[in-house]
Chain A
Amino acid sequence: MRGRVLHAGAASAPAARLDAPLSFWGGFDPVTGRIIDQAHPQVGESLTGRVVVVGGSRGSSGTPGVLAESLRRATGPAGLIVNKADVNLTAGALVAEALYECVCPIVLLDDASFADVGSWPGIAITNDGTVSPIVSETASP
């Protein structure tokens, strides 16, 4: 399937599906790469090197800074698949690429595609916004 590219890039990594939007400021620790919002369903989960499937960010205007800081530290996501056009996540990815050449693609999917992707254990994103499941070697025919 193919979504709308909010920030271009390629990634291929295990998926982390979040069941609620996340405020990166105050809800995610850029030092450890883990969710620290005690009220979030995936609290404690690491996002480092994952393609994170999340509706979007919420809350504070500090989200772009925290996402960019995590990408600088290499504790951040490998890519993001979102369900709402999220300007704050996009701003964080843009600055991280401009300053540090860290690429974190962001793709917006419609509701049906977003729901499908949620069950994939690994996800590949390409520059044009194509999103596909990673089929492990042992499972392929």
Chain B
Amino acid sequence: MGSTLQLDEREQRWLSGADGEAMRLAMQMMVTAADVSDATEFVEIEFAHINSSFYSGQVSLDFAEFLLANGGSFAVPTHTNASLIDCSTPELRAEHDHPVEVGGARRLMAIYAELGASAMWSCAPYAEPTGRPRQGAHVVGSESNAVSFFNSVLGARTNKYGDFIDVCAAMTGRVPLAGLHTDAGRRASHVFDLTGLSGEELADSTLPHVLGIILGHEAGSAIPVVVGLDTATEDDLKAIAAAGGTSGAVEMFHVVGVTPEARTLDAATAGVVPAGRTIVDSALVRSTRARLSTSTTAPLSAVCLGTPHFTASEFAGLRAALDGRPVDGRVQLLVTTSRAVLAEIAAHGWDDELRSLGVQIVLDTCTYYSPRARGVDGLVMTNSAKWAYYAPGILGVDVAFGSLPECVDAAVSGKVGRRD
């Protein structure tokens, strides 16, 4: 094994079962995780965003019920990732159509609330103040876009923790010191050079989504550093994070001049010459973007926005693009977001205004999850590369990928077009 992991008194106590079977299992999991990753010490975490609260079969329920029955509790603020269901829109996935999944998800949501998790139910925790860990904090992330956003944009430190491990880390308040928790693990070694793109191409709001797909395809297990995108907004970085974790396994990226650990290219690479280099030119952007659409000609049934969950600034963009025009009666415009962001836009009256134009605001869940949300079939348009990448396989729908204004124009006219 080679590992010389030392346990302190409290860790030994948890492992002995003296504090109950839930803590014993949690500590056993963390020792196993340390062993497998060759870590010789743990590091304390400040925050967790967990995905085990997503129903993926009876085992999800059995695990959570075991913890509840055996005195499990969380050592750090612990927030829940998106769920399968929207409690405020039960008809979106009707329980009588999907009794096992919907009933299971409902029960699981209740158990995690009882265990003391905060009911965030969002894949974009960073869109609300309590979901933004400080720079340098060790945290636990699980959902791929949130992991990448925490690491890349906020400068917090997390690996991507899978089912059960996320919860066990939150219960024990620690993770093995390995991977992205270490300085060496965060060093960029693959450059993505955008300096050949025109000003117009750089300003295209679909570029960050497409770039994320390219990072995922090309980077492998290397950490990417992007050169030539120094005007990226936080919503742009969110799009890169989501797409990079979709087409590949990007858990962290740097953007020179924008993200906190990449003031310069040298800072991101720690002065080491990068092993990989990809020139992101017009042809690569165009071909990657084209592959995100399966059809643009079938009759449009829905427009899905908010993967990951829409932020308040994205809602501002939606209002501007709609400009008071109502959604066509043949099309559903679905926007997924979190309870906290809804409260934020409701303070400005935007939710009532959008609903009066025919926009459906969906909470807690996403529209690409299976079972399929009501009305999401045939041809669906989205501005999210993540939605476009997953939905054809998961839901069997056709997808048209476009910018937010193009999506809005399609929802208003009932037809997919391109604004150029």
How far, in angstroms, from A86 to B49 measured CA to CA in the complex?
22
A to B contact number (C-beta, < 8 Å): 98
In the complex the two chains form, is A65's CB within 8 Å of B57's CB?
yes
Minimum CB distance partner of A61 in chain B? B162
Interface of A is mostly: helix
Residues of B within 8 A of A4 (CB): 1
Question: Of B33, B163, B394, which contacts A65 at CB under 8 A?
Answer: B163
How far, in angstroms, from A65 to B53 measured CA to CA in the complex?
11
Residues of B within 8 A of A87 (CB): 32-33, 36-37, 162, 165
How far, in angstroms, from A62 to B37 measured CA to CA in the complex?
19
Residue A79, interface by CB 8 Å: no
In the complex the two chains form, is B29's CB within 8 Å of A99's CB?
no
Residue B28, interface by CB 8 Å: yes
Question: Of B37, B66, B142, which contacts A99 at CB under 8 A?
Answer: B66
Nearest CB in chain A: distance from B235 CB, A: 24
Which of B1, B54, B59, B166 counts the most A-chain CB atoms under 10 A from its CB? B59
Interface residues on B, range: 20 to 34
Q: Give B155-175 as 1s and 0s: 1 = Cβ < 8 Å from A's Cβ atoms.
A: 000001111111000000000
In the complex the two chains form, is B57's CB within 8 Å of A66's CB?
yes
Residues of A within 8 A of B165 (CB): 64, 87-88, 91
Question: Of A61, A85, A99, A100, which contacts B161 at CB under 8 A?
Answer: A61
Within 8 A of B (CB), among A27-56: 30, 38
In the complex the two chains form, is B36's CB within 8 Å of A65's CB?
no
Question: Of B58, B60, B144, B162, which contacts A91 at CB under 8 A?
Answer: B162
Residue B249, interface by CB 8 Å: yes
Residue A112, interface by CB 8 Å: no
Q: Give A58-88 as 1s and 0s: 1 = Cβ < 8 Å from B's Cβ atoms.
A: 1111111110110010000000000001111
Residues of A within 8 A of B60 (CB): 65, 69
Within 8 A of A (CB), among B12-70: 25, 28-29, 32-33, 36-38, 51-52, 54, 56-60, 62-63, 66
In the complex the two chains form, is B66's CB within 8 Å of A61's CB?
no
How far, in angstroms, from A22 to B100 measured CA to CA in the complex?
26
Minimum CB distance partner of B24 in chain A? A98
Question: Of A26, A63, A85, A98, which contacts B37 at CB under 8 A?
Answer: A85
Query: Which residues of B are at the interface with A, using a C-beta cutoff of 8 A?
Result: 1, 25, 28-29, 32-33, 36-38, 51-52, 54, 56-60, 62-63, 66, 142-144, 160-166, 249, 393-394
12 contacts between A and B (CB under 8 A): A7-B32, A60-B162, A61-B143, A62-B51, A64-B163, A87-B32, A87-B37, A91-B162, A94-B28, A94-B32, A99-B63, A99-B66
Query: Which residues of A are at the interface with B, using a C-beta cutoff of 8 A?
Result: 4, 6-7, 25-26, 30, 38, 58-66, 68-69, 72, 85-88, 90-92, 94-96, 98-100
